[in-house]
Amino acid sequence: MARGIISLALLLGVCFSFSGNAYANKDQYLPNNYGVALLTGSSYDPDQIGMVMVQGHVVADYKRFFLHRSPPGLRLKVEANLGLTTDGRQRSLFSLNMLALRYFDNWSVGTFIPYFEAGIGVIYTDFRVAGQGSRINFNPQLGVGFKVPLDDGSDSEAISLGLRLHHVSNANLLKDNRGVNSVFLMVGYQF
């Protein structure tokens, strides 16, 4: 388990060490955005564990950190989540995640701009289900939703609504690796 966490920390360190090197002209970057969100949902496998999380995140131009070619407008979202179970267990969780985020401006309907996000992180849960080997696990996620700009259509201020699939497991680093699969509704504010 320690090897997995050290590997993830090294990967994040290498990715962020390239910050600012992708382009000589920094004016080519998309502007950073910051935001907060509320996520609420429940696991659907193996148990029904209700959860609510508060999220803080930063969204940056993907090209600031990765030197390979990428689709136009691809963003890197780094988020921290702090949550509690809502089913009487009174347990906590904390996660740190990194996701690729893509807005599809050309698919917009009125002011609704759809998005897709996918990524991975690490999560600490103050609870374990039967057969789960660790409280510290990997946290792959997938999400879809839309954002609605609140001002003149720029990215400076927007609200968002989305659905996210959330998986928790230790990637077979331990003998016991029972995963927990959840779905969350996410409401956010970006500034």
Radius of gyration of the chain (CA): 17
* Fold held by 2-19+30-190: Porin (2.40.160)
Side-chain half-sphere CA neighbours of 138 within 13 A: 21
Contact 183, 165 (CB under 8 A): yes
Contact 166, 181 (CB under 8 A): yes
The one-letter amino acid at 180 = V
DSSP output for 21-39: -S-S-GGGSPPPEEEEEEE
Domain range annotation of the chain: 2-19+30-190
74-87 per-position pLDDT tens digit: 999 999 999 999 98
- Per DSSP (E only), the strands in 62-156 are 74-85, 92-103, 113-125, 136-138, 141-149
What is the value of pTM for the model shown? Answer: 0.82
Buried b (16+ CB within 10 A) or exposed e, 124-138: ebeebeeebbbebbb
Please tell me the predicted confidence (pLDDT) of residue 21.
Answer: 44
State the burial class of residue 175 (Cβ atoms within 10 Å of its Cβ: 0-12, 13-18, 19+).
exposed
Phi, psi of 183 (to 5 degrees): -130, 135
Please tell me the predicted confidence (pLDDT) of residue 140.
Answer: 97
Cα 102 to Cα 18: distance, rounded to the nearest angstrom: 21
180-191 per-position pLDDT tens digit: 999 999 999 999
128-143 per-position pLDDT tens digit: 788 888 889 999 999 9
Question: Which DSSP state fits 132?
Answer: B
25-39 per-position pLDDT tens digit: 556 888 999 999 999
| Least confident interval from 113-122, 123-132, 146-155 | 146-155
Average pLDDT value over all residues in the chain: 85
CA diameter of the chain: 54
Contact 135, 123 (CB under 8 A): no
